[in-house]
């Protein structure tokens, strides 16, 4: 984080032909309110001090005994030691030492600690921070609110929430938040009964990782040629959503994308198929999600077997069972035996919580060799101004810091990349065998490969390049384009192979929308 901020300051000074001090002030003016604290660490830069030097000197980066000194840029012309000493003196003169030195994370910065406490709460509990009735749904968008789960329509009533079966056909109020309630004055039949009875209403639940949560760092945060205050307008929202954008994601997206590409999701397609499914979505994903920690994450599922509609559950931990930042990465990968145990435990939990008639789709792991093959020699957004940082350099830097999202795939070591893909295939085969052999009382179960090859082929037909399917800043996650194309491929597979999973088309959709339009509703 420090290296990123200092790099941006250096490039702002270069692009605007200004002093470093002026560049710091420019960046601080771009960044909203309390987040400005992050830009003041950049006051100690001169021509001999690149981002690596500043951040090591402020002790925001550290070097353990016996470990290599991690750096993104070329070493300074003079020795590391003398440059560090100069930067440390500067830090003391600006009283930065007291403000920054020794902080283990961005959450230790003044003014951000309160927000971080809220974020820690939702990360720990995976539940909305603002949920006054305790039904696991919220009227607040971020902090695990309705960007992640359907929006609550009465946060003072625990029996009102998205996804439940209607209470007395919602004659007097909207108990399931799908917007359909009241009685048709023409015939006295409740609208919910008239339009939704026997309509196979069902929700979408994703159990996943950062790809499913839709991790994204906006490239405009670090590309100085197009940087302005507008570039950082979404910073508070992104920070309080853990740098995830589930509202645009492949399975639960429901808003038009503001981060490039377009939004297409399983939820939106199910909603178009049956308007009664409105708001019935849950994105129960986390950055770093794997088959192991999903056993804890799954407990935040909001589904009542007796009162709620069935659901389509997507189980998609597509990489973290083989991805880690450890030096001996192979030793820390999930084994096939562990995968079998973890997934079966999760399925048993679902069987005890999902209403009868639900469906579970197990998604195989991705073949992450696609990342290195298509990015390693391209310039990262941070390196495009001076053509000085490739993805290969970024991967090496993160690996050195032992914070690489995937040491097994983001590496020049081809043998290691192949071994990682081999383990991923073994784990996918475990999922495939579970779908073939296991039976559960309340849902049927299916398997599908992660559709990377089909996505790349489809994008090529549209004139796109493979690298555009990868998030540009982290060089690891599926991009917005990949998410939207993946939805289309998944939907087509379901239509052809498991049509009953999607439910039937509601013949009253047009009437429902017409009534809403007449009443000025949405």
Secondary structure class of 272 (helix, strand, coil): helix
Q: Which residues are catalytic?
A: 210
* C-beta atoms surrounding 30 within 10 Å: 21
Measured over the CA atoms of residue 14, residue 16, residue 18 and residue 24, the dihedral's sign is negative
Displacement of CA 355 from its chain's centroid (Å)? 27
In whole angstroms, what is the distance from residue 14 CA to residue 20 CA?
9
Residue 274 contacts residue 506 (beta carbons within 8 Å): yes
Neighbours of 509 (CB within 10 A): 17
Helix, strand or coil, per DSSP, at residue 312: strand
| Burial call 443-455: b when 16+ CB within 10 Å, e when fewer | bebbbbbbbbebb
The whole-angstrom separation of Cα 271 and Cα 264 is 12
- The two beta strands, 311-316 and 358-363, are parallel
The runs of H, that is alpha helices, within 170-289 are: 191-196, 210-213, 235-240, 266-273
C-alpha–C-alpha distance, residues 377 and 173, integer Å: 58
Rounded CA separation 460/481 (Å): 12
CA distance 334 to 345: 15
Tokens 């999600």 belong to: 289
For 445, the enclosing helix (H) or strand (E) is strand 443-448
In the block, tokens 């192949």 appear at: 418
CA dihedral 223, 229, 230, 235 (to 10 degrees): 80
Neighbours of 269 (CB within 10 A): 18
Number of alpha carbons in the 13 Å side-chain half-sphere of residue 457 = 6
């Amino acid at each position: 984080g420090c290296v990123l901020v200092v790099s941006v300051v250096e490039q702002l000074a270069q692009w605007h032909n200004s002093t470093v001090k002026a560049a710091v002030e420019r960046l601080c003016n771009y960044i909203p309110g309390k987040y400005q604290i992050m830009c003041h660490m950049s006051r100690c830069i001169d021509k001999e001090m690149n981002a690596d030097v500043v951040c090591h000197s402020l002790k925001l980066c550290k070097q353990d005994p016996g470990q290599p000194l991690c750096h993104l840029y070329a070493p300074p012309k003079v020795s590391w030691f003398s440059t560090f000493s100069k930067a440390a003196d500067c830090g003391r003169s600006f009283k930065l030492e007291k403000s920054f030195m020794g902080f283990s994370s961005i959450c230790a910065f003044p003014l951000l600690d309160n927000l971080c406490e809220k974020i820690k709460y939702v990360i720990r509990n995976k539940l909305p921070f603002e949920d006054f009735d305790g039904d696991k749904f919220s009227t607040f968008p971020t902090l695990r609110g309705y960007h992640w789960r359907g929006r609550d329509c009465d946060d003072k009533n625990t029996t009102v929430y998205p996804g439940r079966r209607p209470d007395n056909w919602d004659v007097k109020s909207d108990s399931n938040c799908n917007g359909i309630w009241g009685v048709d004055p023409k015939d006295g039949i409740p609208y919910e009964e008239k339009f939704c009875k026997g309509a196979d209403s069902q929700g979408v639940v994703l159990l996943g990782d950062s790809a499913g949560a839709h991790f994204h760092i906006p490239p405009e945060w670090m590309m100085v040629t197009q940087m302005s205050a507008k570039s950082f307008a979404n910073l508070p929202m992104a920070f309080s959503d853990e740098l995830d954008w589930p509202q645009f994601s492949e399975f639960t997206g429901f808003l038009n994308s503001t981060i490039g590409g377009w939004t297409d999701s399983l939820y939106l397609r199910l909603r178009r198929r049956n308007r009664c499914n409105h708001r019935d979505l849950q994105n129960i994903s986390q950055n770093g999600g794997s088959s192991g920690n999903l056993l804890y994450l799954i407990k935040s599922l909001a589904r009542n077997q007796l009162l709620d509609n069935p659901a389509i559950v997507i189980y998609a931990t597509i990489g973290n069972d083989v991805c880690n930042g450890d030096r001996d990465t192979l030793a820390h990968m999930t084994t096939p035996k562990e995968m079998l145990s973890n997934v079966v435990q999760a399925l048993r939990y679902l069987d005890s919580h999902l209403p009868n008639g639900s469906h579970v789709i197990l998604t195989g792991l991705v073949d992450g060799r696609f990342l290195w093959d298509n990015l390693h020699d391209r310039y990262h957004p941070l390196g495009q101004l001076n053509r000085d940082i490739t993805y290969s350099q970024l991967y090496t830097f993160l690996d050195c810091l032992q914070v690489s999202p995937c040491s097994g795939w983001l590496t020049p070591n081809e043998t290691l990349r192949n071994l990682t893909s081999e383990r991923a295939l073994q784990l996918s085969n475990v999922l495939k065998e579970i779908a073939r052999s296991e039976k559960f009382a309340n849902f049927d179960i299916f398997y599908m490969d992660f559709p990377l090859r089909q996505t790349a082929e489809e994008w090529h037909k549209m004139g796109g390049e493979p690298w555009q399917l990868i998030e540009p800043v982290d060089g690891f996650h599926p991009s917005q384009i990949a998410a939207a194309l993946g939805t289309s491929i998944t939907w087509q597979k379901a239509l052809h192979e498991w049509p009953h999973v999607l439910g039937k088309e509601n013949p009253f959709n047009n009437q429902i929308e017409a009534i809403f339009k007449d009443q000025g509703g949405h």
